[in-house]
Chains A and B, each alone.
Chain A
Amino acid sequence: MTITSNARSLPIVRSAVEKMASLEGFAADDAHELTLAIDEALANVIKHGYNGQPDQPISISLEPVRSADGRAGLSVAVRDRGRQVDPTTIKSRDLAEVRPGGLGVHIIQSVMDEYNYSCPPDGGMLLEMKKYVSKHVAPGEQIGS
């Protein structure tokens, strides 16, 4: 799906991600973490990539994948046309310093199994992430049960 860089779009994406995670067999906690990570990625694009401009495009794609040990998962790509940043500079900050801001990257890195930022040659940023269902998912623990 493609949305505009308006924070009002975020609940729509969260709802879609939760539903897709449920279909892929994610437990509620895993689905929340996946949704949170995508939400944080989009918020970072809106705030930093587009400096708050509300009418710029952000594309989000989700694709079912399997881990090496056979667990279901989702591969996520967040693509924007905003400001490019050296991927090596995108890091979590020191959490011992209690202050607002800078927590989104930490959340993404904490809850996703894989993540990679890159600068496509035609501009903007691409964030690719993967999350697999946890190994300890118990039957009947899925969303909506």
Chain B
Amino acid sequence: MPNTILLGTRKGTVILERKNSQWQPQPIMHEGIPVCYAARDPRDGTLWASLDHGHWGPKLSRSRDGGATWQDALSVKYPEGARHIVQYLPTPDFDPESPQGQPEYKNSTVYKIWNIAFGSSSQPGRLYAGTIPGGLFVSDDGGDSWELNRPLWNHESRGGDLFAGEATSRNQWGGTPASIDYGVFEPGIHSIVIDPRDSEHLYVAVSSAGVLETTDGGKSWASRNRGMLMDYLPDPQAEWGHDPHFVTACPGQPDHLWQQNHCGVFYSKDGAQTWKKVSVPEVGVHFGFPIAADAQDGRTAWVLPARADSERMTIDGGLFVARTTDGGQSWQSFRSGLPQNNAYDIVYRHGLDAAGDCVCFGSTTGNLYLSEDRGENWQCLGNNFPPVYSVRFS
């Protein structure tokens, strides 16, 4: 059973420790600063937090003494010459042949460091950071320095190598509404999945583009969106334009991947070569943000269903967790211990985690719930946390 839970919240980083069967929150760290993601590197115990300073820019913060002290890791920066194509929502009179229809370039800067992932034990010091506007950064020295992964940044689906000059293909990455807070409409990488069998094999998920895979350590990337369906574009099966909210894999069966998408829940049992929609709207399983996979059984996953993309509320005022143990063919809803009236909690994409028999989630209304029996019964660990952005066991 895990003994620590890390929360990234609107007002800082919180560690809860389990002592004598009780979970106790420790004094908040990064007090007053939004922390969009916090996690512990399982290889060396280093704590990481992605700070979302309102005024002072995104920063990575690192603690090597269990949270007693933190230091900035300042070097997640787009290199000189990094550009991306500005994405606008076309107006009714938009003419793609007009000068306004031609690519407009922008010098890239980091808006948000949305996710941090840790390399395999065979690559000590390897870290990944996913950002808005859509760059994947890699470190091989424990976060002292970071480098933009250029093959992904220069991917033909983004217009090609804009370091070298003009776009050579059409940009097909859309923006994420999460970037609107920064006054832009840019794509973002929120999910990074590393194959525990092969450190050269990764997936990233981009809102709004889809899933990409590399099998050569990031030298080349290919779309992995076959079987995905969109209900907001004319071609629901288009290669690009998908809006994964979160993608994860079963560590024990890494070919089993799960995706909570804007347009439903999707499952792959062939390493994302194909996806299958496994939503069951009749039982409420369709829209939501996070998804968690079991550590051993690739067919088991948990979701936090919400009501419709246009409303983003609980379904009928009650909070529940749904679990499948058969690859999404059927879902069981669990409500014991969760509020069933007047609940307005939404759980963000990094706000749910599973470890062994434990499942935990934190909500936008500052509630934190834990199950120690695989999601069937829940206890509240606190009602007065700041809005929760991320929950990770460690």
The answer to whether A and B assemble together is no
Interface residues of A (CB under 8 A from B): none
Interface residues of B (CB under 8 A from A): none
